[in-house]
């Protein structure tokens, strides 16, 4: 039983790391986008911990790969099936883009800047006065 669990942890760790790389994300980026702590994602990446069932489902949904496949499939198998779909890739890239834009808007608001509600970018106060 322990060997099965260790294999699952190895597959999950490997698959998560490679999927993050596929989408040019660091563990820190992924943590911010998914609303998780960086240490949590780091523990997954090193195999110290695995996500809860609910979090694994969230990860799978975000990256377009069923949670059970993230934990059990070899990466080459994922590449040949789920990850081979260009529409899945574009959908994930769009989610990442929208999440990053939202995070930038929050950072601007936290810094006390007024933002454009459409773009999420700071309002140019000079242009606003004109």
pLDDT tens figures, 68-77: 999 999 999 9
Q: What does the pLDDT look like over 5-24, one tens digit per residue?
A: 555 568 999 999 999 999 99
| Euclidean distance between CA atoms 58 and 23, whole angstroms | 17
Q: Is the pLDDT confidence value at 66 over 80?
A: yes
Q: What is the pLDDT of residues 88-117, one digit of tens each?
A: 999 999 999 989 888 888 888 888 888 877
- Residue 83 clears pLDDT 70, i.e. is over it: yes
For the chain, the structural domain boundaries read: 1-84, 86-130
Closest CA to 94 of 41, 23, 28: 23
Listing DSSP states for 89-100 in one string gives: HHHHHHHHHHHH
Q: What is the CATH number of domain 1-84?
A: 1.10.260.40
């Amino acid at each position: 039983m322990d060997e099965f669990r260790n294999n699952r942890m190895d597959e999950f760790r490997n698959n998560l790391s490679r999927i993050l790389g596929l989408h040019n994300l660091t563990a820190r980026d992924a943590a911010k986008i998914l609303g998780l702590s960086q240490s949590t994602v780091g523990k997954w990446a090193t195999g110290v911990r695995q996500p809860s069932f609910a979090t694994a489902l969230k990860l799978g949904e975000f990256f377009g790969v069923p949670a059970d496949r993230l934990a059990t499939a070899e990466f080459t198998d994922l590449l040949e099936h789920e990850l081979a779909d260009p529409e899945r890739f574009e959908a994930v890239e769009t989610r990442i883009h929208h999440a990053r834009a939202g995070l930038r808007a929050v950072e601007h608001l936290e810094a006390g800047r007024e933002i454009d509600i459409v773009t999420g970018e700071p309002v140019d106060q000079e242009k606003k006065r004109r």
